[in-house]
Chain A
Amino acid sequence: MGDAAYEISTGLFGLALKIFVIVMPLLIFLEWARTQAWFTRFIKASGAVFNPVGLRSESLFPLMTGILFGISYGAGVLIPQAQSGDLSHRQVFLTALFLCLCHAIIEDTLLFALVGANAWIVVVTRFVAAMVIVYAFSRSAWPVGSEPVKTESQHV
């Protein structure tokens, strides 16, 4: 009994320590990075990757926020943008579709890596799955209607 209690508490302490030393500083760094000007430039530049699969420039901020910080942060940015009409219903769907497969990529991956997972396999699989599935859905109007006729270069 004493042995079991010792094993359980040392196992748990080791895990908590790893999370405290590795995951928490990273989350604090991300929290800071989000307020920096270079982060906004980084988001704009990410359009080169996401525009080809059907995600438009106006979706990039909620998308990257969700990918890096988590679904609730992504939603926190996306919901007001959708309500103000900044995002079409179609773009909301494609952004949500991407994020449902691939969000909080840094925190989730690190936590699994700490208990033994191969971080690269986890990240690459999630990201590629999201890209391919969003691209596939962007080819059809299903299930939420086609893109409005207005494009980014025109204005009405």
Chain B
Amino acid sequence: MQGLKTFLLLMRVMIPVYVIIAILARTPVLPAIADFCQPAMGIWGLPGDAALAMVLGHFVNLYAALAVIAAGQWDPGAVTVAAVILGISHSHLMESAIFRLMNAPFGLLAAVRVTAGWGLGWVVGLMVSK
């Protein structure tokens, strides 16, 4: 059953990431990383720990990024911006392999996704921040 399989896959990825992020958030480690990334993430109206969600979302998958967002308790505007960026541009390692199987120019597609995702995320950020 595909629905149940997806649920189990989601849990397998999200539970460990959520627990690790929630624990790190209570140590000085994650706050230090978040502070360091805050100026860059702030351009999109995102909190500093968004950098972690972006790295995981781009290179691993959406589920890992979602776990970071859920553990971080961001405001809805920031979640919407992250959802636009990551919805368009995510899981590049795995999905490029799929586009390659389709015989599509996967490098060009990845470049289009990164540009569109971060560009539109910025526009949506202007819309939701008031």
Which residues of A pack against B, CB within 8 Å? 4, 7-8, 11-12, 15-16, 19-20, 23-28, 31, 71-72, 75, 78-79, 82, 89, 92-93, 96-97, 100-102, 107-109, 111-113, 115-118, 121-122, 125-126, 129, 133, 143-144
Contact = CB atoms under 8 A, between A and B. Distances in A.
Contacts of A11: 18, 22, 70-71
Interface string B98-118: 110111110011101100100
5 contacts: A11-B22, A12-B14, A100-B104, A116-B75, A118-B128
B79 A133 contact: no
Interface of B: 1-4, 6-7, 10-11, 14-15, 18-19, 22-23, 26, 62-63, 66, 69-71, 74-76, 79-80, 82-84, 86-88, 95, 98-99, 101-105, 108-110, 112-113, 116, 120, 124, 127-128
B87 A126 contact: yes
A122 B11 contact: no
A133 B117 CA distance: 12
A1 to B, nearest CB: 9
A19 B67 CA distance: 12
A129 B88 contact: yes
Nearest to B95: A71
Contact of B3 (A24, A92, A125, A129): A24
Contact of A126 (B63, B70, B88): B88
A101 B84 CA distance: 10
Main SS at interface, chain A: helix
Contacts of B4: 24, 28
Contact of B62 (A78, A93, A108): A108
Given A11-B18, A118-B80, A133-B116, A82 B102 contact: yes
Contacts of A125: 84, 87-88, 120, 124
Given A19-B11, A23-B10, 5 more contacts: A25-B3, A27-B3, A112-B80, A118-B76, A133-B116
Contacts of A7: 22
A8 B23 CA distance: 8
A113 B70 CA distance: 11
B83 A100 contact: no
A122 B109 contact: no
B77 to A, nearest CB: 8
B120 A129 contact: yes
A122 B22 contact: no
Given A97-B112, A100-B109, A133-B112, A126 B3 contact: no
